[in-house]
């Protein structure tokens, strides 16, 4: 990995300022690292129709995939004051593309937890025959 976990976490922290979270006040940033060293950021974007809300992790993935990226190595997730663990929807969403991705979380850049997605989602759902 070209990036240290703390560097990716820093990017997630910086971008979290752009989160749109007027309802929860819970601003989250994510930084997604591709295999070739590009970083795509994402934030949570809430909506008056709560079900239309999207998390920071999925925003980053949607941006990257829509730009043609397919290989991912790590994602850092930041929220102020607490460890932002990816929700179940995001775990499954990421599993589709990167079951072995490293997930970097923590309460500060000096106290990071690095886990594989399969640690967070040991048995992800996958259709057989999916084309990647």
**Residues found near Zn ion in the complex (CB under 5 A):** 55, 87, 90
Which is nearer to Zn ion, 69 or 91 (by Cβ)? 91
Nearest approach, Cβ of 68 to Zn ion (angstroms)?
23
Identify the active-site residue in 35, 57, 80, 82.
57
Which is nearer to Zn ion, 1 or 87 (by Cβ)? 87
Q: What distances in angstroms separate CA 122 from CA 93, 98, 117, 118, one per listed residue?
A: 14, 13, 8, 5
Q: Are 31 and 12 in contact (CB under 8 A)?
A: yes
**57 in catalytic set:** yes
List phi, psi (to 5°) of 51: -65, -20
| Residue whose Cβ sits closest to Zn ion | 55
Task: Give catalytic residues, as residue numbers.
Answer: 57
């Amino acid at each position: 990995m070209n990036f240290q976990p703390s560097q990716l976490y820093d990017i997630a922290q910086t971008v979290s300022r752009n989160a749109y979270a007027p309802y929860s006040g819970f601003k989250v940033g994510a930084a997604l690292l591709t295999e070739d060293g590009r970083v795509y950021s994402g934030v949570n974007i809430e909506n008056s129709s709560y079900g239309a809300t999207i998390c920071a992790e999925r925003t980053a993935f949607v941006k990257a995939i829509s730009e043609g990226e397919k290989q991912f190595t790590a994602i850092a997730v930041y929220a102020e004051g607490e460890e932002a663990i990816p929700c179940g929807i995001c775990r499954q969403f990421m599993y589709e593309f990167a079951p072995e991705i490293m997930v970097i979380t923590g309460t500060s850049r000096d106290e990071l937890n690095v886990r594989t997605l399969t640690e967070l989602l040991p048995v992800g759902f996958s259709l057989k025959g999916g084309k990647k």
